[in-house]
Amino acid sequence: MHIYKVCMTNCPTLIVTVGLPARGKTYISKKLTRYLNWIGVPTKEFNVGQYRRECVKIYKSFEFFSPDNEEGLKIRRHCAMAALNDVRQYLSVEGGQVAVFDATNTTRERRETIVKFAEQNGFKVFFVESVCEDPDVIAQNIVQVKLGSPDYIHCNTEEAIEDFMKRIKCYESSYQPLDENLDRDLSFIKIMDVGRRYLVNRVDHMQSRIVYYLMNIHITPRSIYLCRHGESDLNIKGRIGGDSGLSARGKEFARSLRKYIQDQKIKDLKVWTSQMKRTIQTAECLGVPYEQWKSLNEIDAGVCEEMMYEEIQEHYPLEFALRDQDKYRYRYPKGESYEDLVQRLEPVIMELERQENILVICHQAVMRCLLAYFLDKTADELPYLKCPLHTVLKLTPLAYGCKVESIYLGVDAVNTHRDRPECSVCTSLLKQAWQTSLIHSFSSYRTENIKKSRYVEESPIKSPPASDL
C-alpha cells in the first residue's frame, strides 16, 4: 500500500519533458534550469541519457533503443528510476524547489508512472512537450548537438546521422503525444514547431512563469553585445553610483565603440541604455536610435551613493563588513542588493530572449547580473564577475551554453573591480565592525542618559496650581 503525501500549494515542482529525440528537450531543460536558478528558485536538471551512458559505457547502435530489445528496455527503465530516486533526494532532502526530468517520456504508461511517483512524494508535475515536424530544424539539431554526443565520438558524420535517424524511428512507433482531451487533468505546455504555436493546460503560478519564459525563447542565431558606459567623472574619483557624465577618456571610448559597431556590420542592431547620463552619452556618440530602460539603471547604493569604499568603511564599518560577507544578498541602507537587482532585471532578460542582435550599454552591477544569466553563474559568483570599463563582451548563444568574446577597445580607464575578500578577513572585519558599532552605541546611550539626568537635576519641581488640586 502506497502512502500519498498531500501536495501543498508551495510543494516542489517536477518538470517532465516529452518528445521524440532531436526535438530540443535538453535545450529547453538547460535553459529552464539556468533561468530558474538565476531568479532564485533552486533547480536541478536530471538527464536520463546521462544515466544511461554511465550504466552502458559503450554505445553500439540504434538497436539498443529498439522496442524489441528487452535488455535495452530493462536498462532504460532502470536508468529512469535511478534518476527519479535522485529527484526525490533533491526535492525532499536537499531543499530543491524544481527538478527537470529530461527524457523522451513518449508513452502514456511512462508518464503515468511519473505522475504516481510525484503523488507519492507530494510533488506537482508539469509536462513540457516539444513537437516538431520540420525536417530542416530536426537535421540542424542533429548536426549541432547530437554529433557532439559521447555516443558518436568514434563515428564519422554520415554514420552518426544515419544511426540517429534510425534511433528516432525506434521511438516513433510507440509515441503517444499529450492530448488535450485524454490528458485534460494534467498540467502541461505543448510547444509546436519551435514556438510557432502553443497549447497550455491547467497551470499554477510557478508553472505560468515557466510558460511565459518558454514562450519568449527562440533559436534564431544572434549575438548580444554587453558593455558598460564610458569612464565617468565619479569613476575617476573612485566614488560609487551617482549620475555623473563621461570623462575625457569615457568620451574617447564612446567614439571607439561607434567605430567597432560600424566595422561589425551587424544586421538590424538594437541599442539599449539605462536612464543615467553616462550610458546615454555613450549611446549618443553611436549615431543610431537607442532605447532607454529604467530597469537597466545601476544598483542603488542608498546612503552610500557617491561615497568612496574607504569612506563607507570609515562611516559605516558594520555595513561594509556585512556586504563583504554576503555581497549578493546584502542590501545598502535605503538602497538595493544584487538579489533585488536580479528581480528588477527579469523583464529585461525576457525581452533579451525575444530579441536578435542587440547592444546593451549598462553598468557594472547590472552587467554582472546579465552576464550571470547567460553564463549560468551562481549567486555566490555573480557579484565578483569581471566587467571592466571600455571592454565589449560579445555573447553568442549556443545549443547548451554561450560563447563569450572579450573585445578591449584600446582606451585606458580606471579599474573599478573589487576582488572577493578572504573569509578570514571578512570575519575579522565583521568582528571589528561589531565592536566599533557597540562602542558607538554605548557612547551614544551614555551621552543621551547624561543629558536626561542633567535635565532632571536642573528642572525645578513645581507644585501644581491650586485650581488643579
Reported as a single tens digit per residue, the pLDDT across 376-417 is 999 999 999 999 999 999 999 998 899 999 999 999 999 999
pLDDT of residue 148: 85
- In which band, very low, low, confident or very high, does the pLDDT at 10 lie, cut at 50, 70 and 90? confident
Cell numbers linked to 124: 506537482
Q: What is the pTM of this model?
A: 0.89
Cell numbers linked to 64: 539498443
Q: Are strands 391-398 and 401-408 parallel, antiparallel or unpaired?
A: antiparallel
Query: Nearest-CA neighbor of 271 among 288, 257, 246?
Result: 288
pLDDT of residue 434: 57
Cell numbers linked to 28: 529547453
pLDDT of residue 426: 56
**Is 312 in contact with 319 (CB distance < 8 Å)?**
yes
Question: Does the structure show a pLDDT above 90 at 4?
Answer: no
Cell numbers linked to 20: 521524440
Question: Does the structure show a pLDDT above 50 at 441?
Answer: no
Per DSSP, the residues of 277-335 read: HHHHHHHHTTTS--EE-GGGSPP--GGGTT-BHHHHHHH-HHHHHHHHH-TTT---TTS
Give 408's strand partners: 391
Distance (Å, whole) CA 28 – CA 129:
10
Distance (Å, whole) CA 445 – CA 428:
26
- In which band, very low, low, confident or very high, does the pLDDT at 147 lie, cut at 50, 70 and 90? confident
Quick: pLDDT tens for 95-139: 999 999 999 999 999 999 999 999 999 999 999 999 999 999 999
Catalytic sites, residue numbers: 102, 132, 229, 298
Higher pLDDT, 446 or 323: 323
Question: Does the structure show a pLDDT above 50 at 446?
Answer: no
Cell numbers linked to 397: 548563444
pLDDT of residue 26: 96
Mean pLDDT of 277-281: 98
Give 436's strand partners: none
Percentage of the chain with pLDDT > 90?
84
Quick: pLDDT tens for 31-74: 999 999 999 999 999 999 999 999 999 999 999 999 999 999 99
Q: 386 Cβ partners below 8 Å, 6+ apart?
A: 417
pLDDT of residue 399: 86
Distance (Å, whole) CA 132 – CA 207:
22
